[in-house]
Structure 1
Amino acid sequence: MAWHCNGTTNQEMVTKLKDAGILATDRAEAAMLAVDRAKYCHEPDPYLDRPRRIGYNVTISAPHMHAYALSILSDQLFDGAKALDVGSGSGYLSACMAFLVGSGGRVVGIEHIPELIEISTRNVREDNSHFLKEDRIKFVVGDGRLGHPADGPYNAIHVGAAAETLPETLIDQLAPGGRLICPVVAIKGFQRLQDLLQVDKSTDGAITKKKLMQVSYVPLTDPTTQLRN
């Protein structure tokens, strides 16, 4: 289903993602229509369905992965919700999440490279400046593996890089009824793969985990290792 939803405009890209069944909720569709990928991907043909480099050895994910993430988290990104985007990169998915949580919600994008914080803030300012003015989105410098407890707990947490093991610290920062999605390294025989895991916290605090699909993300690591790779 994935990797073929290329578009020449944001509308065409979103339509193809919907037609393919990847963009599975009306709310996720509305978010991707409201946030123009071209403002976050500053290369030719920004609506191609593939990851693109944004500097500092990180990428903006392919549109189909953003569509999956927003569809999976739609119910948790309700009006007034709190969300955390770990490895926020260009700021694109953080902005989509900010659209969904509304002016009464708050999205925190966390990155350990200060320059990426500057880039993402500038991108949002050029695309949906009211998200910043309303304080419904902010970007912070920090180790995303540790989350950002100061603004938690979170109804939705998205991790945009592959962790060696599922970060328990992030699960601790989920609110009751919250959902986390995170790529996690999986060793199968001689292969090093990645599984996209969904973690749900029930209203009584019980945790359930589910494998959704195999994916391919850059590693969730420290700044020195990232810049060296």
Structure 2
Amino acid sequence: MGGRPASAAAARAQTAVPPAVAGVGLDSAAVRQAMVRRLAQQGVTQPAVLQAFERVERHCFVDSGLAAQAYEDTSLPIGWGQTISKPSVVARMLELLCEGQTLPLGRVLEIGTGCGYQAALLSHLCREVYSMERLRALHERARDNLRPMRIPNVHLIFGDGMLGYPKGAPYAGIIAAAGGESIPAAWLEQLAVGARLVAPAELQSGQQSLVVVQRSAHGFERRVLEGVRFVPLKSGTA
């Protein structure tokens, strides 16, 4: 091993992704557990969030050629100019959504289904997930990814996420995977009293921040947190 101390080699082995990750039918429990340990080391403390990451196989949501990178803390392309976010960013947002709330959450709205990975994670944290995607090709890809998993509480909707989904409102939580210049009014209107919204927003030109909005009987309380980088929020469908 090039003279590396045995302890260093052992530490590397704990987090290395085995070559078998690229194979079909992979039992990825070990690499998922290594990813969960890293998330915990990075500060994720909500047990339900960590358990969701351990249960959902991220490699099933990326192209087979990228499967070897599926459990690294990196974003990966999923086509049509979109990406699957870094596990640490997804975990951070899910933990913020669940913070101080009784779990499982009730009905939650996700804006930006993408490949369906976050929707699968949400299925373990919520009683019901409505997930919207504006790009039909991605909507269909998420449907194909999720179908073999037979997750009964996830409902995929093709539509303009900026408008939210009034039919399912009010929501116990709203989470978005794209950021605009502000939080759309429709999302705030569809948020239940006592519920929380987590989304990126470009509050300064060219700079996105993570925003948490809590709705109370008296109005909305907003917290602006760390800088993030998500794809831009767009209206309409394509």
Which bracket does the TM-score occupy, shorter chain normalised? 0.7 to 0.9
Match of 1:17, as an amino acid? L
Count of aligned pairs between the two proteins? 207
Amino acid at match of 1:201: R
Q: Kindly tell me: are residues 205 and 88 of structure 1, through their superposed partners in 2, closer, same or farther at Cα, counting changes over 3 Å?
A: farther
Q: Which residue of 2 aligns with 1:30?
A: 51
Give identity over the alignment, percent. Answer: 30
CA distance in 2, matches of 1:148, 1:7: 41
- Cα distance in 2 for residues equivalent to 1:223 and 1:7: 42
8 A contact 1:7–1:13 mirrored in 2: no
Q: TM-score, normalised by structure 2?
A: 0.82
- Moved segments of 4+, more than 2 Å: 75-80
Query: TM-score scaled to structure 1, two decimals?
Result: 0.85
Change (3 A) 1:55 1:82: same
1:142 corresponds to which residue?
159
Residue 104 of structure 2: aligned partner: 79
Q: Deviations over 1:131-181 (max 9, x none)?
A: 1xx3x1011111111101111111110010111211111011001111001
Q: In the TM superposition, what are the counterparts of 1:2-81 in structure 2 within 5 Å?
A: 8=17, 9-21=31-43, 23-42=44-63, 43-44=66-67, 45-75=69-99, 76=101, 78-79=103-104, 81=106
Mapping for residues 50-129 of structure 1, pairs under 5 Å:
50-75=74-99, 76=101, 78-79=103-104, 81-101=106-126, 105-126=127-148, 128-129=149-150
Unpaired segments ≥5 residues, structure 1: 1-5
Asked if the contact 2:132/2:159 (under 8 Å) is kept, the reply is yes
Alignment partner of 1:213 is 2:219? no
Mapping for residues 179-218 of structure 1, pairs under 5 Å: 179-187=196-204, 192-202=206-216, 204-218=217-231
Counterpart CA distance in 2 for 1:28 and 1:159 is 17
Cα RMSD after superposing both structures: 1.8
CA distance in 1, matches of 2:235, 2:220: 27
Shift of 1:10: 1.4
SS of equivalent residue, structure 1 residue 81: strand
SS in 2 for 1:106: strand
8 Å contact from structure 1 (residues 86, 109) kept in 2: yes
Does the CA contact (< 8 Å) of 1:27 and 1:74 recur in 2? no
Change (3 A) 1:7 1:142: farther
What SS does structure 2 have at the residue aligned with 1:99?
coil
* Long gaps (5+) in structure 2: 1-14, 18-30
Looking at CA atoms only, which structure, 1 or 2, has the larger radius of gyration?
A: 2
